[in-house]
Structures are given as structure tokens and as C-alpha cells.
Structure 1
Amino acid sequence: MTDILITLYPWTKAFHIMSVIAWMAGLFYLPRLYVHHVEQANNAQMDETFQMMQKKLLKLIMNPAMIATWVFGLLLVFTPGIVDWSRVWPWTKALSVLGMTWFHHWLALRRKDLEKGTNTVTGRRYRMMNELPTLLMVIIVLSVVVKF
């Protein structure tokens, strides 16, 4: 099994990077959609349009991208010689990825609130929360590239 992982390493890494890019795009865009939904959906047609956009982004792009990111990431973790768990960087990356996953699920719950009409989060708070994936991305990239 480890021989296969070593042989497929460049492919696994490439698909991991592509999955992360797709996931991050959604994590950056969905909160912005929520801001506009909360602040500008003043009629049923706008509300319906925002809900359709949010649902498709989450279900068709973000969820598959998150799953693919995790699958390819775990394959990288199990590839011999890639991760040295005695260093700090894999732990900071792992915690940040868990934070990113928590944020994804928080966004999914907020979509359900918007769908039911029970949203209590303001546009300002969505704007503030939109900074979280950027912060986590910085930690992840620095962890992996600098390997502190």
C-alpha cells in the first residue's frame, strides 16, 4: 500500500491542491452571499434567488471540494516521508484544517437558518466571519511551506 502512495504522491498532491482551491473559493464567497442576502433580499424573488445560489454553491461545489480535500490530504498524511509529526507544522496545519471544517459547517447551518427565515446573524457579523478562512489559510500555507 505504501508503494502505491509513494508512486501516486504527485497526483495526490495535485488533486489536494485543486480541491483546496475550490473549497477556499466557496468559503470566501458564501459568507459574502449571506451579507447580500441579509442586507438586500427585501422581496420574495431576491430571497429565493439568494437561497438557490447559496444551496448550489454549498451542495455542488463546497461539500464535494471539502470531502476531496480531506481524502487527498489524508492520503498525503499516510504517504511515507511526507509528514514528520515531531515537528510543529503538521499540528498547526491540522488544527487550522479542523477550524476550516468547523467554519464550513457553521456556514451550512446559517444557510438553513436563512432558508427557514430564522437567521439572526447580521451582515456585519458575516463580514467579520468572512475573515476567518483567510486567517486559517495563512496559517496553513505558512505551516506547510515554512515547516516551522
Structure 2
Amino acid sequence: MYLWIKAFHIVFVASWFAGLFYLPRIFVNLAMVPADSHAERERLLLMARKLQRFAHMLSGVAILLGLWLWLGFGTGRFAGSHWLHAKIALVVVAIGYQHYCGRLLRDFEVMANRRGHRWYRVFNEVSVLVFAAVVVLAVVKPF
């Protein structure tokens, strides 16, 4: 049973992060939409809302499966499991990133965005770095 839970945890984490990779990319496009292009703006907002909801659902399942692995199977409950503490800290960072994306989406919805497309291009890379660090911690367990 452990390997099934672990496999589905990995699938849902990867799917969650796929949403976190793409949502800021939609923000890049929204930041570039001309003010008079209402149809394009509304289409991108609709895509962003749906992706935000879907990523939120995926994150919930990924976190529940991770808790099941940790509490139900004792994953990381041994000497030298500091990698797990670091991974949990990065999960908290990812959750904060996702909530911040929600705030940015609300700013776009009320026409209160104050950032340019270049800022969103850099912001988009944060989720990639967090994901890479989580994978390294989970696979390599460096400490």
C-alpha cells in the first residue's frame, strides 16, 4: 500500500506544480494585453481562474497523501530525517506562492495589476526552483 500512496503523491505533486508553472505564465500574457482588448483579457482571466481552482484541488490531495505517508507510514521518522523538515518547509513556501498567485489574480480581475510582464516572467521561475529543491530533497535526502 505504501508504494501506491507514494506513487499517487508524486503524481499529484507534479500536477499541482504544473498548475503553479503555468498560472504565472498566464499572468505574463495578462500583463501584455492591451487595455482595449476586453475579450482577450476575459479569456485569459477565465483560464487563470480555472487553473487556480484546479491547482488548489490538486494541492489538497497532494498534501493529504503526503501527510498519509508521513503519519501513516512513518516516512522520515528516523535519525537523519532533516531532509523531510526542509521539504515540509518548501511545501509551506509552495502553498504561500499559490495563495500569492490568487492575490495576483484578484488584482488582475479588478484591473489593479501594477507589475509588468518581465516581473511575472521572473516570478514564474520561483515555482520551478521550489519544485527542483523538493525533488532533490525527496530523492537524494542530502541530510
TM-score by length of 2: 0.91
Mapping 1:23-62, distance limit 5 Å? 23-42=16-35, 43-59=37-53, 61-62=54-55
For 2:60, the equivalent position in structure 1 comes to 67
Deviations 1:113-132 (A, max 9, x none): 10111111221111111111
For 2:134, the equivalent position in structure 1 comes to 140
- 1:15 deviates by 1.5
Query: What root-mean-square deviation, in Å, do the aligned CA atoms of Structure 1 and Structure 2 show?
Result: 1.3
In 1, Cα distance between equivalents of 2:113 and 2:78: 41
In 1, Cα distance between equivalents of 2:34 and 2:47: 13
Moved more, 30-39 or 115-124: 115-124
Q: 1:106 to 1:85 in 2, by over 3 A?
A: farther
In 2, Cα distance between equivalents of 1:50 and 1:27: 16
Q: 1:29 to 1:41 in 2, by over 3 A?
A: farther
In 2, Cα distance between equivalents of 1:73 and 1:41: 42
**2:107 corresponds to which of 113, 116, 135:** 113
SS in 1 for 2:44: helix
Identical amino acids, percent of aligned pairs: 31
In 2, Cα distance between equivalents of 1:92 and 1:69: 17
For 1:5, the equivalent position in structure 2 comes to none
In 1, Cα distance between equivalents of 2:104 and 2:78: 35
Structure 2: gaps of 5 or more residues: none
For 1:124, the equivalent position in structure 2 comes to 118
- 1:81 deviates by 4.0
In 1, Cα distance between equivalents of 2:98 and 2:78: 26
Moved more, 35-44 or 18-27: 35-44
In 1, Cα distance between equivalents of 2:105 and 2:34: 14
Q: 1:82 to 1:113 in 2, by over 3 A?
A: same
- 1:80 deviates by 3.2
